[in-house]
Structures are given as structure tokens and as C-alpha cells.
Amino acid sequence: MGMVGGGKDAFIGAIHRIAANMDGLIELSCGALSINPEIAKESGKSLFLSEDRIYLTYEEMIQNESVLPADKRMDFLTIVTPNFAHFAPAMAALEAGFHVVIEKPMTFTLDEAKQLKAKLDETGLLLCLTHTYSGYPMVKQAKHMVQNGELGKIRKIIVEYPQGWLSRLSEREGNAGAAWRTDPKKSGKSGSMGDIGTHAAHLAEYISGLKITKLCADLNTMVDGRMLDDDGSVLLRFDNGAVGVLIASQIAAGEENALKIRIYGEKGGIEWAQMEPNTLIVKWLDQATQLLRAGSNYTNTLSSFATHNCRTPGGHPEGYLEAFGNIYRNFALTLSARLENNKPTNEMLDFPTVDEGIRGMAFIDTVVRSNLSNEKWTEFVV
């Protein structure tokens, strides 16, 4: 694995490395870890990279790695730069024949997303999009139960993602992560919806198996001086007739990372909260609520998609890093299977790809259009 971005003190780069390391399947072998050459070098050394594979630009890295023997060069490129700097290294990597892993949102614009799709179709390479939250085993269990019809026809979806970390004008107080995320030149058209709303929308579509068809958005900038929205609420309609609400806020003071989803069907509902991820609450119309637990596979009730993504028995909590690791593990297992001319299992193939990336960019686009419109409903177009 090579990495673009993610120098020391960058939050998400460090997370990607732990997630990739965890299962002993992936090794960081090279990086262009910062646009600041000093930081790039220092970060590379602290990560035990050999000096000749600590690069100063992604172009240099892709070029040099391309000419290494197949068993020496990086297998794929992970891109953890700010949003505006996803597309160029991704396209360059694909053109040089490398698979890519990209942090969400996939690109800066919907058009870029479509270009990546075309290139993938052309090359047959793989793109993995790290929508972390879909890597949790109990999320997969929920998806499985909906798919199996256990809840009946889905009627209502409530997905919320409150955070409080942008309650102050942190971008002016030296918080680098806040600075680029609230800068439309680096982050994109929307702040709250690009950073966390896309996670929420993806989770809703992933578990329910439904597609958003139209929406009504109210985006707001609640902190004076901020350049992008930091809060938004969206009414949703889905392709089976279900309705929904999506809330993404970064000014919900005192909240940490409280992504939560509830999906109700004719027969019952599921509830899953990222901050207590090992429990799936299943509520029924005509029997007692059940708590399904990651790792506790009584009488084989858990889906193979859930158990495949657990490392420990019930009661030994797995968390965010393991969910992130599941995305990497499935991507790596799929790659390995391909290298060995095996067919990857459906469980291995269960990681977000370019299609989810395109829908995420279309979601941002649609929400922003809706916010500017006086019409109640705006069609979701891809």
C-alpha cells in the first residue's frame, strides 16, 4: 500500500494505517505523505518506510513505483488528502495501473466521480471508498434482515449524524481539519453534507437497499464567519414509497460522533447507533424487542456477512477501527482472490465502490440544489 496525504497529525491518515495494518494482510510500503517536504520525510521515517520510497509528490510516487518489479511495488494507492485533491492522484494511479482506496466523499465534483467510473470500467481496476460505517458487522446484519424481508416493506427511515466539534469557529483557531473542511475550495459545495451527510445517506441506502428519489433540504450556517453550511436537515423519499429524514449537524454542541439510523417496516424496526456499535436493536410489532450482538451467533441467526466481519466473540467490543479494518480487509481479500484467479466471495466483495461514490456526489449536488430552491421537492439525479 502506498499513501497520498496522511502525514503526522493528520487524523484520517493514521486511522487508515491502523485499519490497514490490523489483520496482517496489508503493509504500508511507500508514501507521499504531505505536500510539505519536511513533513513528508519526517512522517515517512517515523512509519519505518525505506528512504527511497518516501516520496514528495504523488506523481513521483506513481512513476517510481510503476517501474518497480511487480512483487516489490505497491499493490494499491490510498488517498487521504482533502476532498479537492482526491481526483488527480486517483486518476493518475488508475492510469498507471494501480488500484485505489479513497476517503469519502470520493471527489470534489460529481463530474470527477463519473470520470473515475469511466476509467475503472476501461481498466478493470478496483476502487474502494471508505464509507467506514458500512463496515460494522451489525450494520451488515441490519442490511441482511431488511433484504430477507424480516421487517416487511420499509416505510420510514430516520438517519441522523450530530456532531458538536464545529460549534465554534475552530477553522480560525488553528484546527487544520476544520480549516479545509469549511473551505469551499477544498471541501466542496457543502460542509455538513459533504463531510458527514454523505455517510448518513450511504448508510440509509446501504441498509435499506432503497434509493433516494427526491428530497427537500434545509442547510444552514449557524456559526458566524463560516464559509460553508455546518448543519442540515433533509426530508427524503425512496424508490419504494418509503419516506425519511436525514439530519447532519456539526454544531450539535456536546455530541461526539453520534451517527444513528432507524428503519421501520410493516412488521418491525431496527435501530443502530455507531457509538454502541455491537448491538443491533430489533423492535417488533408483536413480540419483545431483541438485542442482536456482534460476535454472539446463537443458533446461527447472524448473517454470514455479519460474522465474516467479526474478529472476537460476543462481549469483546469491536469498534471504529475494526469497522474501518473490515473495509480494508475485504478489499485486500478481493484483490488477493483476483491475483490468485479465485472468485472472491460475496462477503469479500461487500465494500463500497465507485457507484456509492457517485451517489454520494449526487447527494451533495442534490441537497445543495434543493437548499437553494423554493420548491419543496428536488429530484435526486445522478
Q: Which residues, numbered 44-63, are part of the site for its own copies (CB under 8 A)? A: 47-48
Cβ distance to its own copies smaller for residue 304 or 353: 304
Task: Report d(CA 69, CA 186) in Å as an integer.
Answer: 36
Minimum distance from residue 237 beta carbon to its own copies (Å): 8
Q: Which residue in the set 267, 344, 345, 369 belongs to the binding site for its own copies (CB under 8 A)? A: 267
The string of DSSP letters for 56-101 reads SSHHHHHHHHHTS-TTTS-SEEEE-S-GGGSHHHHHHHHHTT-EEE
311: contact with its own copies by CB under 8 A: yes
Q: In the window 69-128, what residues touch its own copies (CB under 8 A)?
A: none
Angle at 146 between CA 135 and CA 248, to 5 degrees: 55
Q: 192: helix, coil or strand?
A: helix
Residue with cell 519505518: 48
Minimum distance from residue 132 beta carbon to its own copies (Å): 9
Q: Which residue in the set 57, 64, 109, 233 belongs to the binding site for its own copies (CB under 8 A)? A: 233
Cβ pair 208, 244 in contact under 8 A: no
Cβ distance to its own copies smaller for residue 152 or 184: 152
254: contact with its own copies by CB under 8 A: yes
Cβ pair 201, 213 in contact under 8 A: no
Q: Which residue in the set 16, 17, 119, 308 belongs to the binding site for its own copies (CB under 8 A)? A: 17
Q: In the window 314-333, what residues touch its own copies (CB under 8 A)?
A: 314-322
Task: Report d(CA 112, CA 106) in Å as an integer.
Answer: 9
Distance, C-alpha 70 to centroid of its chain: 29
Cell of 142: 441490519
Minimum distance from residue 356 beta carbon to its own copies (Å): 21
Q: In the window 349-378, what residues touch its own copies (CB under 8 A)?
A: 373-377
156: contact with its own copies by CB under 8 A: yes
245: contact with its own copies by CB under 8 A: yes
Tell me the window of 102-110, 189-197, 214-222, 338-346 that interacts with its own copies (CB under 8 A). 214-222
Cβ distance to its own copies smaller for residue 57 or 180: 180
Residues 6 or more apart from 251 whose CB is under 8 A from it?
164, 166, 167, 222, 223, 230, 231
33: contact with its own copies by CB under 8 A: no
